[in-house]
Each structure stands twice: as C-alpha cells, then as structure tokens.
Chain A
Amino acid sequence: MTDHTLSSPQPKQTRRLPQINPVYFILAALIVAIILNNPNFVEPSGYMNFLKRAAPLAILAAGQVYVIVSGGFDLSVGSLITLVVVGSSMLSNNDPSSTWWVICVMLGIGLGVGLVNGLVVCFLKVPSLIATLGMMITLNGIAFMWSGGAPRGYLPESFRYFGRFNIRDVPLIQMLPVAVIVMAVVGFALYWLMHRTNLGRMIHAVGDNPRAAQLAGVPINRVRVSAFVISSLSAVIAGILLGGFGGVSTDVGTGYELQAITAAVLGGAQLLGGRGSVPAAIAGALTLTAIFTLLNFLGLPQPVRQVVQGLILIAAVALAMYRRKRTGQ
C-alpha cells in the first residue's frame, strides 16, 4: 500500500541520476582510496579481514534498521554486546562443550531484553530513546556485577570459532572467515524479513504513520515489539562475533549503539521512521569500517584522524539526505 502511493508520481519526474542509494558510491570511493593507499588490500587477506572486522557492526546495523524504521531507537545494543561477551565467558567457564547452550542462553537473554524494551515502549508509553537508555545503563550494571569489573574467564575456542576462525584453502578466495558467512546469512535473513514479508511492510507502515497503520488493521504493538526483539537478537549475534574476534573485555560494546545508528542513517534510514533499507545499512556499516581502515593506512596523527572521521561522516549523511530530496523519497 505504501509502495503504491509512493511510486505513482515517480514516472513524471525526470530521472537525473540512477536510483541507487548514494551509500554504495561512498563505499566504493572509500574502497578505491584504500586500494590506492595499500595495493595489498585486493589480496584475499586484505578484503576478507576487512569484511570480518565489519561483520559485527553490519549485523548490528541491520537489526537497528528495524527499530529505526518502526520509528524508534535502540540504545541498549552496545551494553547488550558487553553483557553477551562477559556473560558467555562467565557461563562457559573454559569448557569447550558448553558453547551451544551458552549461545542459546544468550539468545534467550536477547529475546528477553528486546521484549522488555518493546513492552516498555508500547504499554508504558516511555519514548524508546529513554526506555533503551535505561536498559543500556541497567545492562551495563548487570555486566559489571556479574564480572566484578574485570573479566573472570576466557571464551573457549569453540565459542570464538564464529568470530575468529578463517576457513583456509578455499578456491579463488583462499580464505573465508566464518564471521563473513555469518554476516551473509544473517544479513540475507534480515533483508528478506524486512523487504519481502508482511512484517517488513507493517514495520514501515507503523513508522511512517502509526495512526494510519492502526486504522488499516496493523497490530502496532506486536510489530513494534518484534522490531525491538530483532534488534536485540542482532546485538547478541554481534556480541558472539566480537567476543570471538577480540576475546573477553568488559567494555567491548561501548559506543556500538551510536555506530549502528550512524551506519543505518548512512544507509539512508530516516530517524523518525518509515524508511530504511537493510542492505544499505550493511553498506553503511562497511562504510564506517572503511573510514577507520583508510585512516589507519594513511597514518595520520590521532587528532587529525578524528577531525577527518567526523567530517567524512557529516558529508556522507548530508549527501544521503540531498539525494533523498532530489529523488523525492
């Protein structure tokens, strides 16, 4: 229904530029800049390491898009990542065979956190910004209490497999990190759910105009809660990958909530809801990681790097917004 009303005026417009999300151009430009700076990047060890590193943020951003499109924010994902990493190390207790049930417990925690977030927003009418901010502080406190402020154990290799292991001797690409496979599978699942199912359409409708959606028979609360649950589950998966990649630390998730929102906005998601795309958010996450990698390769001093990083970000989002105005979407 939304699709229909949006697409009807378009044929009248003169098409000045191909209808491709600008984030892909920005990403391509950054990748070219990286390759110019470091030709080794075209080797599999170069781009595969890049994708592996970007995987947690990409999954997180793809989950965050659900909440953003439904008209909210999820600030609790960063501290949920920390809780997953700290909690997994406490529960697994260096026992490799525990990996499977620990992952199930973590997904259960994610489900619970998402449900609470969603229910608080829907039924207690707390704005999502505040509800998830409260959840963020609470989860940080729980992680701190659980660990006593310092990591208390290691993650077994079988748990770290997902974030750390590279499958070697793959034809053509030589190495294939497991994290990249996870990113592809989860990314596709989230894409399909958002852009090919009824739930995705309802999330768009709720974010675009909740009243209209309600009148059209969309179960608003159920849809919103689902969006928060999906975001929390994506944070759990991101946490499993991050714990695998870097090992246990008590501040692993710090700052990820804002990075995920930034990635989604870079991908053209609209902050007050109604618009957003999973593939573009993943591209936004790759763009953020590419900025970091490029600045690493340039070897600029830290303060300059922060200035450049900030400017690139503002420019990229401004470009995304400009394009949106021109295409009238």
Chain B
Amino acid sequence: MKQVLTYATAIGLVLALAGTAGAQNFNDPEEFARQKEQLTMTPHGPEGQPWVQYLVDQMADTSKYKKEGASTVCFSNAGVNNPWRVVGFTNMTQEVALHPEIGNFVHVDAEGSDDKQIADIQDLLAGGNCDILIVSPNTTAALTPAVEAACAKLPVIVFDRGVQTDCPVTFIHPVGGYGFGIQGAQFIADNVEKGGNVLMLRILPGVDVLETRYSAGRRILDEAGLNVVGAEFTDGDNAKTKSIVEDYLQRGKIDAVWMDAGATAVAAIEAFEDGGHDIPVFVGEDQQDFLQKWRALDMKAIAPTYPSYQWRTPIIAAVSILKGESVPGPEWVLPQPAVTQDNLDSFINEKMPPLHYAMCGCEDMPNYPEAWGGTK
C-alpha cells in the first residue's frame, strides 16, 4: 500500500509539473503586438552600435553598486553547446578584453544542465569573490530561485533567456521570438500570392523561444491566406531537413519555406537545387553559409536574426553598474534587425566559418576575424 501511495504521489507530481509546463503561453496576442511594435521602433543610444542601443527608455539607478578599483565579473553560462553560443561567447570574451576595469573574469559553463547551473551559481556566491554576476539561464523556471538567491548578495545581470523575477538589475534581450517569427513570415506574406504553399521547418518542440517564433509566423501566414502545407521538426539535422523537403517536393509545389532557425537552411535549399526545382522564397538566419548561398543563387530571401551581439552588452552593463552609472532596466531591449536584400553584401564575409552568425557586432573588435575562427 505504501508503495502504491509513493507511486501515486510521484505520478501526481509529474502531472502537476507537466501541467505548469503546459500552462506557459507561447501564443500571447499582447506580447505579439508589443514585439511587432518594437521591431519598427527607432532605438535610443549611439547609432551603428546596436549592442548598446535600447528600445525601452527606462533606466535603472545603480549608484549603490559603485565600486572602486579592479573588479571581478562572474558569468554563469547555460552552455557553449551550439554555434550561436560559440560566436556569442567569443563576442563576450573579446568585449572583456576591451575593459581594463575588469580585473578578473570568471566563467562557469553549465553544459546545458539546469542542476549544474544552479550549483555553479551557488559556488560562485559561496566563493565570495564576485562583484557582479551575469547569468545566461539554461531554462527560465528552473533557474529563477538561484537567481533570486544571488540578487540578495550582489548585482545580477540576466541575458538571452529570462527568469521569472524582476530582482536582477537588468534583463538584456533582443526583441524576441515573436519578432523573429513576424519578420520572416511577413516577408513571405509580402512576396507570395494568396493561397501559395508554405512549408514551415522547425528544430524541435517545447523550447519557448522557438515556440514563440512559430506561433507568430503561423499567425501571420494564416492571416495572409497562405496555405501551410506542413510544419515539420528537423532536429537541426541537415540530412533530415533535406529528406523532409525532398518528400514535400514529391507531393507538390512549394512557394516558400519558413524556418525557425537557419542552421539547416542551406540543406533545405540544396533539396530544391538537387531535385531541379526553382528556389522559392526563403526565410533563413544570419549564418554565413546561408547568406552566401542567398547571394550566389540570387534568391528572394530574408534572414531575421537573434543577434549574437547581445553577448557584448552584459559586459558593458556590468562595467557601467560597477561605476554606478545608470543602465537601461529592468529590461534592456536591444534592437533585432534582419538581413535583407539591401544590406546583404555588408554581412557576407567569405573568410568566416559557415555557421558564423553575421549579426555579431564584432567586425570592429581588435581580434576580428581570427578569434571567431575566420582568416584575414
């Protein structure tokens, strides 16, 4: 009997957890409208440096955090487990090198694990050396208590994915997933006739930033009267992506391809090429391989971005906070530009690796391009 009860409780817990996870709303019309508006806003801050610009003009007072002398900046990183994070983390270390005020930069990598990241943050706090803590959370809900505990001890900056508390000094992020979905889908809606066939390719289900990209994209395509022939998960795998597109091409014409992330865009394009089909309207991302393919084939395409320059901002914010200068907060919303036909050439650099994210804001940094894996 006891055992049965234990099992029942366990099952109940699992269901309750599943319930809360399911309650997260990935299709929020208010947030959709807000991000849609932010896409068209003129940012505040210095022109040509989007990583220090901000869309919402509200500043956080940080005079109480003012500190003299060299500081220790600690960073709890969710992981360096995909090419976007590799580029981003390079941006960050290069930014650190620009600031002599930072005496010591401590980086701990959670390798994509919530548990490890929670322990990492506890270790950093217990060590007592950090003057400020930067957190890039692995998942939103799981990291919230750890961030709250950190807030009680020192100033905290959160960026990329958020947490469910407003205790950090600032939460740095670009416009967001809805914005990404809107930019791509709107381009399709503007360039494909009503009733055209659109194939939507997604990486995997259940990740908030990707779900919001999809829900926003879907909303726009449906409203424009386009026919979504399928929404398929590719697992971010080139071979699988190519197979899926080939299968769809056997069944009928595709007028546009929308993607929630661009890493497999070139594989999808190749499916059209190899089958001898015309390349349709395409939504990719700012990876070099896609941008170069776009130019080489003279495609009709757009590349919304989730700018990796946002990895520079937390370091800049940390330095400002420790000087007692105010920073945009409690939310620092960065602009989220798209690569379009008009500015395509300025983002292409054939000396960079194929999955280098062009919207890195790193071209003027001292060690560019070698530090990012490129050649002069």
Q: A residues near B, CB below 8 A?
A: 38, 40-41, 43, 45-46, 49, 53, 56, 148-154, 164, 166, 242, 245-252, 254, 292-293, 296-297, 299, 302
Contact = CB atoms under 8 A, between A and B. Distances in A.
B244 A296 contact: yes
Contact of A252 (B86, B87, B238, B355): B238
A328 to B, nearest CB: 39
5 contacts: A152-B353, A242-B239, A246-B237, A249-B263, A296-B243
Interface of B: 80-83, 86-87, 205, 230, 232-233, 236-239, 241-244, 246-247, 250-251, 263-264, 266-267, 270, 274-275, 289, 353-356, 373
A49 B246 CA distance: 8
A242 B236 CA distance: 15
Nearest to A293: B247
Most buried by A among B230, B238, B263, B267: B238
A261 to B, nearest CB: 19
Contacts of A43: 250
Contacts of B263: 249
Contacts of B355: 150-151
Contacts of A247: 238, 266-267, 270, 289, 354
Given A150-B82, A150-B86, A302-B233, 19 more contacts: A38-B250, A46-B250, A53-B246, A56-B239, A149-B81, A149-B82, A149-B83, A150-B356, A150-B373, A151-B83, A151-B353, A152-B353, A153-B353, A153-B354, A154-B289, A247-B267, A247-B270, A249-B264, A252-B237
Contacts of A242: 239
A153 B353 CA distance: 6
Contact of A164 (B205, B244, B274, B353): B274
Given A150-B373, A151-B354, A153-B354, A246 B250 contact: no
Contact of B243 (A53, A153, A299): A53
A218 to B, nearest CB: 39
A297 B247 contact: yes
A12 B250 CA distance: 50
A297 B252 CA distance: 12
B247 A148 contact: no
B242 A251 contact: no
Given A40-B251, A149-B81, A296-B247, A246 B241 contact: yes
B12 to A, nearest CB: 22
A149 B251 contact: no
Contacts of B373: 148, 150, 152
A297 B251 contact: yes
Given A53-B239, A152-B353, A152-B373, A166 B274 contact: yes
Contact of A246 (B87, B205, B238): B238
Contacts of A166: 274
Given A164-B274, A246-B267, A296-B244, A251 B83 contact: no
B230 A299 contact: yes
